[in-house]
Amino acid sequence: QKEVEQDPGPLSVPEGAIVSLNCTYSNSAFQYFMWYRQYSRKGPELLMYTYSSGNKEDGRFTAQVDKSSKYISLFIRDSQPSDSATYLCASSTSGTYKYIFGTGTRLKVLA
Amino acid sequence: KAGVTQTPRYLIKTRGQQVTLSCSPISGHRSVSWYQQTPGQGLQFLFEYFSETQRNKGNFPGRFSGRQFSNSRSEMNVSTLELGDSALYLCASSPGDRTYEQYFGPGTRLTVT
């Protein structure tokens, strides 16, 4: 079992929809949770990071961590065709400097 | 501020050869991490360096090695290349005290024939 699991998709939604992207993890020691966006033929781009449980909002993006269920979510409001990309979640334990990534979910936002 | 740069961007090598990839982090960043990305396995952690010291490494064979220089630039080396080493190799830099903020370069696409 991988430490961080992510549905590969693809997930197709119409423009303007609210998108929910999810990951589960197995290591209860994980404390840092990150979301990256990766366009084709580019390196991943950091979107948001959270520490421990709770929500964090940045513009149209909201990251949510539920440590009790080991569930990580990213919500995208008012999705745009430019949001079409692969979204990667990642987790880490404090002080290990080692980051475990999910395999990514492909998102397509249809105009 | 200039982003993370990686050279070369594309590389074709033959089985059994060795290869060295280079990464220049964002100015002021002292932590550099390396990852291998393949369609089947996704992004897999290779190793992380801070101030020329390897602080952690992933589950890769000893053929994969790296180093960091005093100016924070980093190199990774793969010896005795195998077909399965074909992948996108990504480097990420971080401020030393906030390694969860990782900024990735564009990657080096390595093809082993």
* Per-residue pLDDT tens over the stretch A28-46: 999 999 999 999 989 999 9
Question: Which of A44, A49, A100 is facing B104, going by the closest CB pair?
Answer: A44
- Give whole-number Cα distances, A53 to A32, A62, A69, A72, A73, in Å: 9, 13, 11, 9, 11
Q: What is the pLDDT of residues B23-66, one digit of tens each?
A: 999 999 999 999 999 988 899 999 999 999 999 999 999 999 99
pLDDT given for residue A8 in this prediction: 86
Interface residue ranges in chain A relative to chain B, Cβ cutoff 8 Å: 32, 34, 36, 42-46, 49, 51, 88, 90, 92, 96-104
Does residue A78 have a pLDDT over 90?
A: yes
Helix or strand run (H / E) with residue B10: strand B10-13
Does residue B100 have a pLDDT over 90?
A: no
- Please give the structure tokens belonging to residue A95: 């002080």
- State what percent of residues in chain B have pLDDT above 70: 99
- State what percent of residues in chain A have pLDDT above 70: 100
Contact A44, B43 (CB under 8 A): yes
Does residue A1 have a pLDDT over 80?
A: no
Average pLDDT along chain A: 93
Average pLDDT along chain B: 94
- Please give the structure tokens belonging to residue B11: 């590389």
3-class DSSP assignment, residue B85? helix
Residue B110 makes CB contacts below 8 A (sequence gap 6+) with B11, B13, B19, B21, B78, B85, B86, B87, B88, B89
Contact A65, A50 (CB under 8 A): yes
Question: Which of B31, B58, B107 is facing A43, going by the closest CB pair?
Answer: B107
Does residue B99 have a pLDDT over 80?
A: no
The answer to whether the Cβ–Cβ distance between A46 and B31 falls below 8 Å is no
Residue A94: which pLDDT band, with cuts at 50, 70 and 90?
confident
Question: Which of A43, A96, A97 is facing B106, going by the closest CB pair?
Answer: A43
Q: What is the pLDDT of residues A50-61, one digit of tens each?
A: 888 889 999 999
| Neighbour count for residue B54 (Cβ, 10 Å) | 14
pLDDT given for residue A52 in this prediction: 83
Closest to B107 (Cα-Cα) out of B18, B8, B30: B8
| Neighbour count for residue B94 (Cβ, 10 Å) | 23
CA distance B40 to chain A (A): 8
- Please give the structure tokens belonging to residue B61: 């064979």
pLDDT given for residue A53 in this prediction: 81
3-class DSSP assignment, residue A72? strand
Phi, psi at residue B51, to the nearest 5°?
45, 50
pLDDT given for residue A9 in this prediction: 85
Does residue A20 have a pLDDT over 90?
A: yes
Phi, psi at residue A64, to the nearest 5°?
-135, 135
Contact B28, B95 (CB under 8 A): yes
